[in-house]
Amino acid sequence: MLQIDLWKRLLIWGIVALGLLLALPNGFYNRVETYNDAAAAVERGANPSELQEELSLWPDWMPSGLVNLGLDLRGGAHLLAEVQVGDVYKARLEGMWPEVRDLLREERDRLGAIRLQDTENAELRVRMVERPEMAGEAAALVRGLARPVTSLTGAGATDIAVSSMGADVIVRLSEAEQRATDERTVRQALEIIRRRIDETGTREPTIQRQGAVRILIQVPGIGSAGELKALIGTTARLTFNPVVGRTSDPDADPGGRNVIYPSMDEEGTYYILEPTPVVTGEELTDAQPAFDQNGRPAVNFRFNPSGARKFGDYTAQNIGSPFAIVLDDEVISAPVIQDHIAGGSGIITGRFSVEESTQLAVLLRAGALPAELTFLEERTVGPELGQDSIDAGQTAALVALFAVLVLIILSYGLFGVFASVALLMNVFLIFGILSAIGATLTLPGIAGIVLTIGMAVDANVLVFERIREELKTAKGPARAIELGYEKALSAIVDANITTFIIAAILFTLGSGPVRGFAVTLGIGILTSVFTAIFVTRLLIVLWFERRRPKRIEV
Amino acid sequence: MRLKLVPANTAWDFFKYARLTFGASVIAMVLSFAIWLAMGLNFGIDFLGGTTIRTESAQSVDVGAYRDAIQALELGDVAISEVFDPTFGPDRNVAQIRIQAQEGEEAITPETIRAVQDALRAIDPEMEFPLVESVGPKVSGELVWTAILAVGASLAAILIYIWLRFEWQFSVGAVVALIHDVLLTIGIFSLFQIRFDLATIAALLTIVGYSINDTVVIFDRLRENLIKYKKKALRDVMNLSVNETLSRTVMTSGTTLVALIALLILGGDVIRGFVFAITWGVVVGTYSSVFVAKNIVLILGTKRDWSKPDAGAGTQFGNVDA
């Protein structure tokens, strides 16, 4: 009757032992964390002998996976940013202008003179100044410039949509090209953000894409979201532009397509610049904080070969005239070229503090963001509050566990003891699985574990109650136990599947803390069913085999 | 000596006061709905957008002074509430400040937060700000939809699952019981103006999960008894089923409540609202499993011949062997 094959017994004990083993490192959290940091450093090429002390804290044959602590427990900053993908359209179209212009000028005899119109929208608007009636034909010509979109979803589509309206030819990016551009922009932004945060050397930052154009950034241990914003929110587009003139009037007409930018240091001073930069920050290979000859903070930089050549040629030809170093539409400085600058390195001076020059160097090294970011959500949790939450959660969980154990032992006697053992295993299994899959534990996640402690006995209770009932009618305790398990099973399965559905929905709905709750709840359901059906049963069978009681009391 | 939360063999008539219990449930639902409409919910920034700042100070919280300090910055609607917790000592005074979403800003700027903090530090230079959260109107608008969607999807998923495993009357009964639980929880949140945020939605779904768990156990026994007693009146079979599972219902609710109360008292103030919602939901959910779900099935009636085509429906997992 009450038989469990040997291999099943071994399997059950094996799973329980594995769970215990995987959960164990969490009992020595700080120790294992130090060890893991050291091990990661060695992996990156650090000298193992220097880290001997840290490495000896934990045996390397033991599992060393830990439950990650969420931001609400560890403290840190959380940001949800949206990439302004539309920014890029205009720049892309402007890049097409020379090509369009050359094409239409070739046909000047037929089309007459053309002029680019200023517009707020992401489009090129070309006016047929002399022959408005030729707009349709010109549009057809421009359409010939369209190239197929290089993306999976946009197969078969071309990159531009050309239309004519009155005397104007309007060039826009096609839907497919917009999507492809968005994709590239977001990926690039993700990469740049990752590089910038890596430069600061914080542990375990989370940088994730969310939906089409959003990026979620979580950095533990950082003081405030504002700090993080300053680091990743700056576009950091560096350009070197020829200076046309200086003015104190921000509304002055710069003339032609020139642009007017304010000076960063001198209030009320504006520079008129040529719009096309000589070189941009994309051609930098390195940037380091430094000090200029007067001992003021500055940033040293070096160009790549093509940037160095362009910069060298330009300085050689323009000795005596000023050029501007522009960062995000502000002129950092506009020195006069004293000499031909060969070799491709230079120094940016301005009124920096040491922190600012360090940050600027980081930003320049990591590269410019392809588009601006807006922040939709930000959260900062102080580390003390996180620690308080851990302590409170720990106390509550222990008290809850103790109270539940007392309650079931009082209610079910020896069988209650079996259920208690199973419940303890259950908690270890939850931690074991959380560590193994690298899940993140949040404060609601702790609540989920406590809730599971309360609910986990449910499956046991169902079985025990059923055994009690069967004892009244069935022949002998062995049969009653067997029937109890058999008949309680469908209720256990139905009840837990419905709860599991809810946990799954919560998981897809939630972000951060709520998701942490869903994870512990879901895992808790699985482990509680496992421990109730297999572990408790095995314990009962072992006891039964040894004692062979004539009658049992549940 | 065993602890018995419920006497060993009960034969209570759970329909004896059906009018009273079911009526009470209906009235409670209507009341909750009315309170919800009349008082509204105290939505957190997850759903409204805006900023919350938690302050910690050694000096006692002077809400008026805080308000005056922040009002000077002209940030619109500002709500300040003191936070109490048994674990706080006398030198730990915590307050929660909520600032409405600012016109034309997605998330609040670091400068605004700095300004608020500076204004408050004028009251107590040692003041700490361990928690600053800001949600823009764009995200909060979406979160409202995700929340509604999640609750809707859960109810639909359960409706379908119970329908597949039982009969449609059962699934209607179960879902009505769930709506009852959700409404009553929303009602109490509205009545006491407890902050309602994304975590509360998670709590609501957990309540749904717990309550359905309870209901399914009773339904499962009911199905078994319907197969066993083909001639007995539906009402009597129901009473029998509830009585047979009563000791389990009380026991499981008991252990869950014990665990939750420990968390409610000791788990800290940050998740107290969340834990309170679940605790309340477990009580209401247990009640609705016993007094609401099956009453609906009784009203709707159900087929009585469970033996024919899918007699194995309830036991198809029965051959899972240890």
- The 10s digit of each residue's pLDDT in A192-235 is 888 888 877 776 788 888 888 899 998 887 777 777 888 888 88
| pLDDT for the residue A144 | 83
- Do both B174 and B284 map to the same domain? yes
- What is the rounded CA–CA span in Å between residue A264 and residue A234? 15
- Do both B131 and B162 map to the same domain? no
Name the residue facing B252 among A375, A461, A521 (closest C-beta): A461
| pLDDT 10s digits, A452-488 | 888 888 889 999 988 888 888 867 888 888 888 988 8
- What is the rounded CA–CA span in Å between residue B103 and residue A254? 33
Q: Is A313 within a domain?
A: yes
What's the structural domain count of chain B? Answer: 2
* CATH number of B59's domain: 3.30.70.380
Three-state secondary structure call for residue A260: strand
Name the residue facing A458 among B132, B252, B258 (closest C-beta): B252
Three-state secondary structure call for residue B82: strand
- Do both A542 and A475 map to the same domain? yes
Q: Is A145 within a domain?
A: yes
Q: What DSSP character marks residue B311?
A: G
Contacts 24+ apart (CB under 8 A), B155-163: B155/B179, B155/B208, B157/A501, B157/A502, B157/A505, B158/A498, B158/A501, B158/A502, B158/B208, B158/B212, B161/A497, B161/A498, B161/A501, B162/A498, B162/B212, B162/B216, B162/B219
Q: Is A302 within a domain?
A: yes
- Residues of the domain holding B113: 50-135
Most confident listed range (A235-239, A428-432, A517-521, B45-49): A428-432
Q: Which of A498, A507, A539 should be substituted to probe chain B, the one whose Cβ sees the most B Cβ atoms within 10 Å?
A: A498
- What is the rounded CA–CA span in Å between residue A399 and residue B297? 39
Q: Is A261 within a domain?
A: yes
CB pairs under 8 A between A and B: 252
Helices (H), chain B: 18-39, 45-48, 63-71, 110-121, 137-165, 168-191, 198-228, 234-266, 272-288, 294-300
What's the structural domain count of chain A? Answer: 3
Interchain CB distance below 8 Å, A396 and B266: yes
Which pair of structure tokens corresponds to residue A453? 């402690």
Distance between first and last Cα of chain A: 19
Q: Are residues B132 and A379 in contact, defined by beta-carbon separation less than 8 angstroms?
A: yes
Interchain CB distance below 8 Å, A384 and B268: no
**Chain B residues with beta carbon closer than 8 angstroms to that of A495:** 212-214, 216-217, 220
| pLDDT for the residue A409 | 92
| pLDDT for the residue A153 | 60
CB-based contact, B153 to chain A, within 8 Å: yes
Q: Are residues A166 and A135 in contact, defined by beta-carbon separation less than 8 angstroms?
A: yes
Low-confidence ranges of chain B (pLDDT < 50): 311-312, 314-316, 318-322
Residues of B numbered 57-96 whose beta carbons fall under 8 angstroms of chain A's beta carbons: which are they? 87
- Do both B201 and B296 map to the same domain? yes
Interchain CB distance below 8 Å, B201 and A509: yes
- Do both A470 and A518 map to the same domain? yes
- Do both A491 and A444 map to the same domain? yes
Three-state secondary structure call for residue A99: helix
**Chain B residues with beta carbon closer than 8 angstroms to that of A226:** 110, 113-114
Interchain CB distance below 8 Å, A498 and B245: no
Q: Are strands B50-57 and B78-83 parallel, antiparallel or unpaired?
A: unpaired
Interchain CB distance below 8 Å, B221 and A501: no
**Chain B residues with beta carbon closer than 8 angstroms to that of A473:** none
Q: Is A58 within a domain?
A: no
**Chain B residues with beta carbon closer than 8 angstroms to that of A404:** 255, 258-259
Q: In angstroms, what separates the C-alpha of B164 from chain A's closest C-alpha?
A: 11
Which pair of structure tokens corresponds to residue A174? 């096609």
Amino acid letter, A385:
L
Q: In angstroms, what separates the C-alpha of A472 from chain B's closest C-alpha?
A: 11
Q: Is B128 within a domain?
A: yes
- Do both B149 and B182 map to the same domain? yes
Q: In angstroms, what separates the C-alpha of B29 from chain A's closest C-alpha?
A: 23
Q: Is A505 within a domain?
A: yes
- Residues of the domain holding A105: 86-178
CB-based contact, B307 to chain A, within 8 Å: no
Interchain CB distance below 8 Å, B129 and A384: no
Q: Is B6 within a domain?
A: no
Q: Is it the case that residue A242 has pLDDT exceeding 70?
A: yes
Share of chain A above pLDDT 70, in %: 98
Q: Which of A8, A210, A378, A542 should be substituted to probe chain B, the one whose Cβ sees the most B Cβ atoms within 10 Å?
A: A378
Q: What is the CA angle A175-A176-A179, rounded to 5?
A: 85
- Do both B60 and B167 map to the same domain? no
- Do both B117 and B195 map to the same domain? no
Residues of B numbered 277-306 whose beta carbons fall under 8 angstroms of chain A's beta carbons: which are they? 278
What stretch of H or E contains A380? strand A373-381
- Domain boundary among the residues B135, B164, B196 is at B135
- Do both B166 and B265 map to the same domain? yes
Q: Which of B263, B289, B316 should be substituted to probe chain A, the one whose Cβ sees the most A Cβ atoms within 10 Å?
A: B263
Residue located via tokens 């100070």 = B57
Amino acid letter, A257:
R
- Do both A457 and A543 map to the same domain? yes
Interchain CB distance below 8 Å, A461 and B205: no
Q: Is A275 within a domain?
A: yes
| pLDDT 10s digits, A53-90 | 888 888 888 888 888 888 888 888 888 899 988 878 88
